[in-house]
Each structure stands twice: as structure tokens, then as C-alpha cells.
Structure 1
Amino acid sequence: MTQPTHDEAHGGALGTRLNWLRAAVLGANDGIVSTAGLVVGVAGATDDRSALLTAGLAGLLAGSLSMAAGEYVSVSTQRDSEKAALAVEKRELREQPEAEFEELVGLLADRGLSRAVAREAAEQLTRRDALRAHARVELGIDPDELANPWHAAWASFLAFTVGALLPLLAIVLPPAGLRLTVTVCCVLGALVLTGWGSARLGAAPPGRAVLRNTAGGALAMAVTYATGSLLDVAGA
């Protein structure tokens, strides 16, 4: 008989994958939508290729650096919190090991183990590495895989840059009469792909993710294009 496949991710693997997914998807989507909104807004006011290129490059650089800095600060705060929690747990294990042991037994029992099995498991985990056992069971932290701010920053920087290149190239490469159409089509197509990909990697239904991505991108481009057109008509 064919064994059933089992594709679920568990524990730290899922947490790590979702962290990378979050940074990559947010970076790519933000790069696509913000740069598309910027260049489409400028296109509403002018069809000058150099103006579009300058605006797109400025948006790409500002956005990618901003995303990287934001992720670095956010994940650094998370890492500091994890390290502080581990330090507290380490001190408690040193000062009151019996109470911490009973706490571990209780946590394991709360997960469905009988009291006897929970106590045996706690004894084995404590002998192997008490701090690691408490970190994983009590805090939900893997001491060997603390959040890495540099990884998150680079992932966001690269994802934003890749996403931003699409609308930038789409607005400057085609002839003037096709720029807007090509850009809108490319952006909406890319948002469909990123929405579908993020949903699939996160084991979620793709419909809502795709709809959110495309609706948000379309709205952003419509608003900025209308604003650019109004400014052009007003002679601003």
C-alpha cells in the first residue's frame, strides 16, 4: 500500500519558514506596489522617460533601505526579548531547580501526557539539557535558532528590490503609448503570483491572498495615477 504523504511543517521548522516567508512576501509586495504606485503616479503627470526612471530608482532605493532597517530593528528587538527570557530561565533553573522541574512536568502534562509519563519525560529532558527543555516547552524558543536580524534585513532588502524592479522596468522600457498598460498588467500578474505563492507556502487557501494583493495594488495605482493626472491638469 502507498503510504500517505505528510507535508505539514512542525515546530521550529515552521516558525523559521514563516519568518522568512513574512519578510520575503512583505518585501516583494511592498516593492511591487509602492514602486508601481510611484511610477504610475508620475506617469499620470508626465511621459518623460528620465523623470519616470529617476522616480522609480529613488523609490526603489528608499524603499529597500527602509524595509531592511525596519526588519533589522524589529527582529533585533525580538532577539533581545528571546535572550532576556533565556537568561531569566537560566537563573531560575540555577536558583530553584525543583520548582522549575515541577513546572516542566506540569507543562508536559498539560499537553496531554499522563502525570507519570510527563515526569519521566521531564527527567530525561532535564538530564539532557534543562535550559533547552524549558526554552522549547515553556517559552517556545529554540536556543540554537534565535531570530537573526541580519538575515531578515537582507531578505527584506533583496525582496523589495526584486519586486520594485518589475514596475520600474515595465514603465521605462516600452514605448510611451504602452507604458501604463504594460505596467498595470505586469504588476497585477506579479501580485497574483506572490499572493498565490505566499498562500501555498503558508498552507493557506490562495483565493483570499490573491484577491488582497491584486485589489490593494490596483487601488494604489488608480489613486496615484488619478493624483498625478490632476496635478498635471492643474499645472502643478
Structure 2
Amino acid sequence: MRLDKFICHAKGITRSECKRLLHRGMVTVNQEIVKNPGLKVSSSDDVVLSGASIQRFEDIYILLHKPPGYVCSHLDDGAPSALNLLPESFDAFKAKLSFAGRLDADTTGLVLLSTDGQWVHRVTSPKQKRSKSKQYRVTLARSLLDAEARAVESGLILKGEPTPTRPCVITLHSDTQCDIELSEGRYHQVRRMFAAVGNHVDALHRFAMGNIRLDDSINPGAHRPLTQQEIEFFNND
């Protein structure tokens, strides 16, 4: 891990604040003053800031099953934050957690959170490959016609946007229920795509992002840590 990232995570300070401390010679690594923020440090290194040893901070990677009525925000913005679903043992880390792909209050399902900002960026980057897609279960207000499904799959111009949506894949389960697989993440995209063909989404549930799937063992409101394989999937572009 980079020295500046290590210090920022451990002390809860910004990257610019960390650089000022390094420039002033306030940081030593293995008893030597270090001013290079990009120096790689490991768990065996002794990092000291202003005379006090810094305990190594391990990044957290979480899958959360978000129930309806919660927002993906650090603030209770008209509804309680999904962070409130995490137990008290996470209280010291909640301010450092970022949402890797948000859901609106009415949408349920898989939400990823991490203290690793670079990993969150890779998960949410619009340049992500198709293999890093998102999958949703959609319940519609009325039957989806074949022509409407083909239009959604082919790509649509959404109101206020100059470019069409990327091609996607729809799998029908019934006249009013389907799965949709997207390779991008625009604002309220699924709801807006079906509205564009004259339908309405009654219920929306995300059950997969890339290789990470929400299985039946994770109840609404519950969470689990990601496996190393799940974490590394988004590191391999």
C-alpha cells in the first residue's frame, strides 16, 4: 500500500493533509524520515507520525443486502442511511466507507461498500468491461411487448441525454417480470428505460455486480465480507 494511503486511512485525514505532514518531515518509516507519498509500505514496516506509531489499517470490503426505504448516502437524506444497517462494530469505519454503485430508496438488493477508494472507482468506472455488468430483477406494471423488449435491448435515447444507452440483455420470466443485464450505470437507468417504452417499474432488485451475486443466505439488512476472489475481480481490467 502507498504510504499516503496508509496514513490517510489510519488517521482519517485527507491526501493533501498527509502530503503536508510528509513535507514537514513528520513521518518516519523504519526510523528514517520519509517524504515520498508513493513509498510502498507493508505490515512489517514501522510507520511513525509525530512520534506515535501508526497501527496498520486493513481495507474493508462489504456486500450489503439493502431493503427498501434506505438511501445509499452517509446522511439521512429523507430516509435512513443504509450505513445504519451495519452493526456497532463498524462505527469507527463508517465515515471511511464509500458506496460502490448506489441504489435509490425504493430499489432493493446488492450494494457494495469499501474503505478502498481506488477499488470503488474501478467498480463504478464507466469504462468497466461488459464482464463487470450489473443485473436486476424487474417487475413491471404491465406486460412487456416483444418490440419494447427489443427496443430496450438495442439501446434508447433517454430524455435529456445525447447518447443512447448501451445494448443490454433481457431475460423474461413472465409477462411482467424479467432480468436485465447492464454494462453501464446512468441515473435511474432501468426505470427510465422502461418508461421510455411506455411501461412502469413497480419493483426493482439488483442481484449481481460482476462476479458478485446476492444469494438467499443474505437476508434484507444483512451483510457479509467479500472474498478475496470477489475483490480481485474488479482489480483485473
Q: Into which bin does the TM-score normalised by the smaller protein fall? A: under 0.3
TM-score of the two chains, using structure 2 as the length reference = 0.22
Larger RCO (alpha carbons 8 Å, 6+ apart):
1
Bigger fraction of residues in strand: 2
Bigger fraction of residues in helix: 1
Determine which structure has more spread, i.e. the larger CA radius of gyration: 1
TM-score of the two chains, using structure 1 as the length reference = 0.22
